[in-house]
Structure 1
Amino acid sequence: MSHASLPLLSPRPASPDEAPVLAVRGLRTDFEARTGTVHAVRDVTFDVRKGQRLAIVGESGSGKSALAMSLVGLVPPPGRVVGGSISLNGKELVGLDDNGMSQVRGRDIGLVFQDPMAALDPLRTIGSQFVETIRVHQDVSVRTARKMACELLAEVGVNDPARRIADYPHQYSGGMRQRVLIAMAIANDPAVVIADEPTTALDVTTQAQVLDLLAKICDERGNALIMITHNLGIVEELCDSVNVMYAGRFVESTSARSLFETPAHPYSQALLDCVIDPATTRRGAMPAIPGSPPDLSVDEPGCPFAPRCPIGRNEPRCATERPEPRTLSTGAVVRCHFASDITGGEA
């Protein structure tokens, strides 16, 4: 399923012997709703190491963006992190107040959002916003910060940055606005960059340019990259590892190569089956996973994917017993009672 239109750099795998820059353990995030408590993120555990490119994939509503917002303390009310640990270079983030998290955001964790017009203030120039981003975290003068901003804009491909820095966001194209966000995200040399669906509103050619730029800059600077996306073409070309998310949990954690060659969870396989190949897909035929995602305000005892799963629909165990994480011989960590049968290997 090669995405030939994305001329991206080859992922550089992180060494498992390196200490993680970001360590998440048992993270849980809830939202209070009229219908009950929505458990958006449920017992999520993972590590991110320097230079790693990690994808988090899943359908809309699977918990991807809630997880991203939990990592940076931006869960919108009435949501909140209710348990677990987020450790960034040994510093615990869960429990930090707003002032503490504001020091982390932009300095230790850079953010690239999917809608640059929402992330940038339309009433302020690019320069004033960029200078503020730098000076909040670095003790430099306005003149120095402005010079740094121009250098970063040039690095991400903005022509004539000394002039364009005085422009407003609406004077930039969508792709250029995304380049500005990337430059602002790396301005304070963060350990981790989180990109939440950063190319959603862009055409295919601009997507490729933005993704290539993001990968190149993270590689050159050694930033870890967490890519939140539903686009498996991006995962295949850009990332070295992937967590597949369903109903607030990771159901498969593996290398990107293993995901595409030997997906171990039925949901992972279903996602791959939904990728449209123009060469083989009939006009009007849109592959889809049957059924609907589960109600996250209800904590059912079995596997949440069972009602939509070709195996789970016929297995009583899947409806009554929640699968625990299991490590397969491939190294994939999977929440499925029958993962070894699917892959043909031993758990």
Structure 2
Amino acid sequence: MTTSSGSQDRSTRGTSLRTRRALAICVCCAVLLVVSVAVTVSIGPADVSLREVYGIIGQHLGLGTSSAGRLADGIVWQLRLPRALLAAVCGAGLALCGAILQSLLRNPLADPFVLGVSSGASTGAVLVAVLGVGAGTLSLSGGAFLGAVLSFAAMLALAYGAGGTPDRVILAGVACTQLFSALTSLIVLSSANAEQTRGVLFWLLGSLAGASWTDVTVAAAVFGGGCVVCLWYSSTLDAFAFGSDAAAGLGVAVGRTRIVLLLVTAIVTAALVSAAGAIGFVGLVLPHVARFLVGPGHARLLPVTVLIGAVFMVWADTVARSVFGAREIPVGVVTALLGVPAFAILLARRRRQLA
């Protein structure tokens, strides 16, 4: 009895310590995010000081006046700030979806694009940009969103027609990814001119150029709703760590939970991809980083993952638009270049832990 009580006390203290650590990390990341947005908005070909950035933002929020000129005001408020905020939302959303899918499907390699959403969005985008489908009605983002929804619907039909297990979902996602990727390539190679091909390629690799306040509002609203749903299911996701049968034994409605969370992650991913293109490695790597910092408990894991993803993406986009001067590179290139070494380090640490 004494031994059991002592073990329970140690477990309680360990949980409390991890919770306090997660809270401290969340506070630090939140402060870092605010500072990062302000600093990155001041970085670029046009010289804008941090003082001017804070003054311009404060003036638009009704918190004071700014001595900055109209040019600096337009650069900060219309160009750089929406882009930085959209980067933060995209990083947070993709990282969140990655954490959910890795737990839901019990696969450490799962990421938001395993559902085929990204490839479907790419097909929808090139249908609008190259073939002019829905011209005058659909924008590039609208076509991408509809393509993502269609791809996800095809994945669900294929997966649940074959049983709906996590393995079937992943296999169906891979099949849909290959199908829509092939369709995208076919459209580009057969119908696009050189200029269209370059523009489509840039979008396919991820780009936040041209971000507007409308993009930020829509993406933030979809992400916010998805985040609330995912946090609501955080304790349920803990049960999935023991497998579907164990979760069902604990009273979890496995089928319904899986459908709800797959639908939520697909909608969030579709909204983000339609606004920013296919940005890889964020949803794959950052959940592992957060898991390493605070453990697998989803009440701690999800908030930390969201904040780390937001900070990472803000700086990745800043590198993408400024490292080569006036020549911008796709942000997906930067996330891959940073994500691959990070993932290799995580794999090496995990191997040492298992040894």
| Bigger strand fraction | 1
With normalisation by structure 1, the TM-score equals: 0.28
| Bigger helix fraction | 2
RCO higher in structure (CA 8 A, sep ≥6): 2
With normalisation by structure 2, the TM-score equals: 0.28
